[in-house]
Structure 1
Amino acid sequence: MILPKRAMLALCLAVLPLPGLAKELTEAEIKQLVYEAILERPEIIMQAVEKLQREQEAASAGAAQTVLENNRDTLERDPNAPVLGNPEGDVTVVEFFDYNCPYCRRAMATVQGLLKDDANVRLVYREWPILGDGSVFAARAALASRKQGKYEEFHWALMGMQGRATEASVIRIARETGLDVERLRRDMDAPEVEEHIATSMALSRKLGFNGTPSFVIGDNLVPGFVEQPQLYELVNQAREAAK
């Protein structure tokens, strides 16, 4: 990290205070004192950088929590988002995912295990197709399948497929799942499909997510793949916090 000179000066003064003197000295005198201090204690530079990083991380965390609270209803209770697991569950897990994301596919078994082991989890899916045209086609098809009552079955089939999700592979799996493909294609252009994807894009940007999978569990924003023990622990934390 390269800091502007004034920022470095301020940070050095913070980690090496000059009691009662700073406001009486000129800027040139302060710079000379800091320069001499750095020569004597070069570790001041690292202390200054670490202090700045801690402050930036705290500020980012606070901003993310504010965004989370302001958007919690949309994240957890959007009627236009698919819900798996227990619709009345006491803990909501929100997953942003892409059908062409290998880590999302890897997370499938972990998420399925959670739903099997914990009957009080609501799983809200945010289709977030960011890995190309195939991802967009798959997301639209999956959302459209809701009108035929086959979202969950189709979702797991797409997530467990071999190779990339493309128009051809998605349509093949749709037929295997028993979907009316002609109707599916028509429903893919429905306004609610476009709205869901647009909302996912907006929410992910606000929350600072930059890749899939990403999870929201209680007050925790969790970017990236989550191992099963960590996922279970985050769910338990959310449950305890809600009591």
Structure 2
Amino acid sequence: MRNILATVAIALFAGFAGAAAWDYSGLGPERTRDYLMANPEVLPEAMGELQRRDMMARVEPLRDELEMPYPGAVLGNPDGALTLVEFSDYACGFCRQSLEHVNQLIAENPDLRVVIREYPILSAGSADAARMALAAADQGKFEAFHNAMFAQDGLSAETIEAAAQQAGLDLAAANAAIGSGAYEAQLQNNVFLGQSLRIAGTPAFIVGEQVHDGAVGVELLSEAIAEARDS
């Protein structure tokens, strides 16, 4: 009954009015209304489900594009059967905090592919670091740069170059590619995807039918991965 009545609450939030909403359960208006009044905790649960459904309605038409990485901008198993998408910004402290969590998930799930969407929304330096990350992907050194960049003390032209050197990039080739505008279309597309999904901050994670904002930790992401694996 709880699931049915949660659906009724969704109908209310979605705009059904009066008896039309109460009848949505098939249990009759009086019985339905009495249950909801006695168990108002169903309403927040239903609102959460409504938000999830709304997000999935935006994700599904874009899923193939979301899960198709920029070549080389992948962590974990590039051929993995499960895909976790992360919208990330090198100026984001919560993204830095989540790096350890993502690495743990990769270690625990050999079939996990992590697609990093560079989403430089916090500063001009964010965009510069994102361009260098894509240059690193072109050189087969994305993971090394990604880890080195988050290990830096702050985000500046100097720390971006230091991370690139630590990752072993050919800086002349990387800067030439950046100067040619080779990565602008990819960054613009990432912004389009993020805005289409109403992602306002980083990190944001998408796996299966779950979307999580912020540094939500290993446990919640592990549960989402397990659910996606079982679906």
Same fold per superposition (TM over 0.5): yes
Cα deviation for residue 191 of structure 1 reads 4.9
Q: 1:221 aligns with which of 211, 221, 224?
A: 211
**How many angstroms apart in 1 are the aligned matches of 2:65 and 2:202?**
19
- Counterparts of 1:204-219 in structure 2 under 5 Å? 204-219=194-209
**Is 1:188–2:178 an aligned residue pair?**
yes
Letter aligned with residue 116 of structure 1? A
**How many angstroms apart in 1 are the aligned matches of 2:46 and 2:82?**
31
**How many angstroms apart in 2 are the aligned matches of 1:74 and 1:191?**
22
Give the direction of change, closer, same or farther, for the CA distance of 1:190–1:72 in structure 2 (3 Å limit): farther
**How many angstroms apart in 1 are the aligned matches of 2:134 and 2:127?**
11
**Is 1:88–2:79 an aligned residue pair?**
yes
Cα deviation for residue 169 of structure 1 reads 1.3
- What corresponds to 2:159 in structure 1? 169
- Contact 1:89-1:122 at 8 Å conserved across structures: yes
- Contact 1:94-1:123 at 8 Å conserved across structures: yes
- Contact 1:81-1:125 at 8 Å conserved across structures: no
Q: 1:158 aligns with which of 132, 149, 167?
A: 149
Unaligned runs of 5+ in 2: 1-14, 22-36
Q: 1:100 aligns with which of 88, 91, 98?
A: 91
**Is 1:138–2:129 an aligned residue pair?**
yes
Q: Deviations over 1:102-141 (max 9, x none)?
A: 1000001110111111101010000001111111110011
Letter aligned with residue 203 of structure 2? P
State the TM-score, normalizing by the size of structure 2.
0.76
Number of residues of Structure 1 aligned to a counterpart in Structure 2: 197
Aligned to 1:179, the other structure's residue is in SS state: coil
- Counterparts of 1:21-40 in structure 2 under 5 Å? none
Aligned to 2:215, the other structure's residue is in SS state: coil
Letter aligned with residue 110 of structure 2? A
Aligned to 2:183, the other structure's residue is in SS state: helix
**Is 1:125–2:116 an aligned residue pair?**
yes
Give the direction of change, closer, same or farther, for the CA distance of 1:176–1:82 in structure 2 (3 Å limit): closer
Letter aligned with residue 107 of structure 2? K
Instruction: Please identify the structure whose Cα radius of gyration is greater.
Output: 1
Letter aligned with residue 127 of structure 1? E
Q: Deviations over 1:132-184 (max 9, x none)?
A: 1111110011111122221110111001222x211121112212322222221
- What corresponds to 1:8 in structure 2? none
- What corresponds to 1:29 in structure 2? none
**Is 1:235–2:225 an aligned residue pair?**
yes
Q: 1:116 aligns with which of 60, 84, 107?
A: 107
- Contact 1:81-1:124 at 8 Å conserved across structures: no
Letter aligned with residue 64 of structure 1? M
**How many angstroms apart in 1 are the aligned matches of 2:175 and 2:210?**
37
Aligned to 2:67, the other structure's residue is in SS state: helix
Percent of aligned pairs with the same residue? Answer: 31
Give the direction of change, closer, same or farther, for the CA distance of 1:219–1:190 in structure 2 (3 Å limit): farther
State the TM-score, normalizing by the size of structure 1.
0.73
- Contact 2:52-2:210 at 8 Å conserved across structures: no
Aligned to 1:77, the other structure's residue is in SS state: coil
- Over the aligned positions, Cα root-mean-square deviation in angstroms equals 2.6
